[in-house]
Amino acid sequence: MSRSPVDIRLEKIHDQLVARNPGEPEFHQAASEVLESLAPFLERSPLYLDPGILERFVEPERQIMFRVPWVDDDGEVHVNRGFRVEFNSALGPYKGGLRFHPSVNLGVIHFLAFEQVLKNALTGLAIGGGKGGSDFDPKDRSDPEIMRFCQSFMTELYRHIGHDTDVPAGDIGVGSREIGYLFGQYKRIVDRFEAGVLTGKGVGWGGAQVRTEATGYGLVMFVAEMLAEKGRTLEGMRVSVSGSGNVAIHAVEKAERLGATVLTVSDSSGWVHDPDGIDVPLLKQVKLVHRGRVSAYAALRPRAAFHEQGAVWDVPVDVALPCATQNELDGPEAKVLVSHGVLVVAEGANMPTTREGTACLLDAGVMFAPGKAANAGGVAVSALEMQQNAGREAWTFEESEARLAHVMRDIHVLCRHSAAELNRPGDLIAGANSAGFRLVADAMIAQGVV
């Protein structure tokens, strides 16, 4: 069978991307998934093939890499690498989190920034896409060590950011503590209190209500919209959640408030099955206050069991929420979920499902929500925090949560309608990618070849 001109063009772009970015499998995976899913849209709208929109769309506007020297509590000097990929500013200033984790490298940040462009476009909140971070590991480091690292990191990063240029936020390994240290160093260097230069700040000094909860809450809100389309709710549903960080904890909290029973959480040491449902206050105490492992949670719950082998996906559930990291849910694990009758899989992390896992779920008719749509709540509230900073306003928790719910509802409607336009009803991957791409591409065309 002869291939269409669109398929030939997409393959050429993908091959060029791989050749220009060797050794970046995460970026290759994300770009390949997006380009392939755009084929039906581009067949219907060939004007987006020119002038070089696709070639520019997969190439970041700017990539920054720098060294981060810092001194530990014993006086030993360490050197880490810092990264910021400012991928696309067609819709607004670059927006995206900072990740501090040993797995961070340029390829990982490249992939995250690329996904962030589409995710941010879907929010409708006039923000471009970027991402950053470092291979620094904050685990088991003292507060003074983390402060010194953050100060060194910001000493270089400050020259590249600004409320109309690039607005970082938190991600894995970067919470309110790290944002505080980063903001303090920025303020010291520029001698100005520019609240809008970072989001995820403390509520008492420019932060937004619901920002901490936003990604997890928004994920569950999105799932509720998916179920409502089928005339169902989360009431009585069994849910599995991977991870036990900020996103996972608040996904558990929101799901249980909507009547579900969440049975699992995990971390790098293993996972917990709690047949009575995860005790959110206890989980917060263990993870957020004591910075402990999920095994400590299991030790305090009579019927909870901690496992070093297997995965949270071994537990039969109706809804699965991967909230840990990329490529954590693979093909064999997806088959297990399908065999147990899972109804919905929604990504709380960025690209947590492998291509084989996604294909398995879609072939089985499982409702699937890609991360760029389902976990957009965090960046949505970050953009709302920027709005509040610009107007020197402070909204209530209830008002902020209502705005978040509105954004997640709109994202679901947009993805669903875009999928239907492509004659692929229910395919939220195609819907999210085509809708996000069209929004960014229209702005790129309007702004000329830049």
- Is residue 51 pLDDT above 90, yes or no? no
Do 1-59+427-450 and 214-365 come out as alike in CATH topology? Answer: no
Give mean pLDDT, residues 380-397: 96
Q: Domain-by-domain residue ranges, the chain?
A: 1-59+427-450, 62-195, 214-365
User: What pLDDT score was predicted for residue 407?
Assistant: 98
Say how far apart CA 82 and CA 132 lie, in whole Å. Answer: 8
pTM: 0.95
Chain-centroid distance of CA 236 in Å reads 27
Say how far apart CA 256 and CA 374 lie, in whole Å. Answer: 18
Share of the chain above pLDDT 70, in %: 100
Tokens 């960080």 found at: 245
Would you say 321 and 242 are in contact if contact means Cβ atoms under 8 Å apart? yes
Complete edge-to-edge strand list for the sheet that includes strand 94-100? 62-71, 77-88, 129-134, 94-100, 166-170
Say how far apart CA 308 and CA 143 lie, in whole Å. Answer: 29
Say how far apart CA 368 and CA 330 lie, in whole Å. Answer: 14
Q: What is the DSSP annotation of 250-263? A: HHHHHHHHTT-EEE
With bands split at pLDDT 50, 70 and 90, how would you rate the model's confidence at 406? very high
Q: What is the DSSP annotation of 155-206? A: HHHGGG-BTTTEEEEEBTTB-HHHHHHHHHHHHHHHTS--GGG-SS--GGGT
Give 144's contacts (C-beta < 8 A, 6+ positions apart): 73
How many Cβ atoms are within 10 Å of 213's Cβ, its own excluded?
23
Would you say 67 and 79 are in contact if contact means Cβ atoms under 8 Å apart? yes
Residues labelled catalytic: 131
pLDDT averaged over the chain?
97
- Is residue 115 pLDDT above 90, yes or no? yes
Say how far apart CA 261 and CA 264 lie, in whole Å. Answer: 10
**pLDDT tens per residue across span 250-262:** 999 999 999 999 9
Say how far apart CA 36 and CA 41 lie, in whole Å. Answer: 10
- Is residue 1 pLDDT above 90, yes or no? no
How many Cβ atoms are within 10 Å of 203's Cβ, its own excluded?
15
Bridge-based pairing state of the strands 94-100 and 129-134: parallel
User: What pLDDT score was predicted for residue 369?
Assistant: 98
User: What pLDDT score was predicted for residue 3?
Assistant: 85
With bands split at pLDDT 50, 70 and 90, how would you rate the model's confidence at 50? confident
- Structurally, at CATH architecture level, domain 214-365 sits in 3-Layer(aba) Sandwich (3.40)
**pLDDT tens per residue across span 140-149:** 999 999 999 9
Share of the chain above pLDDT 90, in %: 97
Say how far apart CA 87 and CA 109 lie, in whole Å. Answer: 10
**pLDDT tens per residue across span 222-231:** 999 999 999 9
Tokens 């099955």 found at: 273
Phi then psi for residue 261, to 5 deg, are -115, 115
CATH match of 62-195 with 3.20.20.10: no
Give the 3-state DSSP-derived string for 37-95, with helices as H, strands as E and coil as C.
HHHHHHHHCHHHHCCCHHHHHCCCCEEEEEEEEEECCCCCEEEEEEEEEEEECCCCCEE
CATH of domain 1-59+427-450: 1.10.285.10
- Closest alpha carbon to 247 in 101, 385, 374, 436: 374
Q: CA–CA distance from 169 to each of 18, 145, 200, 265 (Å)?
A: 29, 20, 6, 25
- Is residue 2 pLDDT above 80, yes or no? no
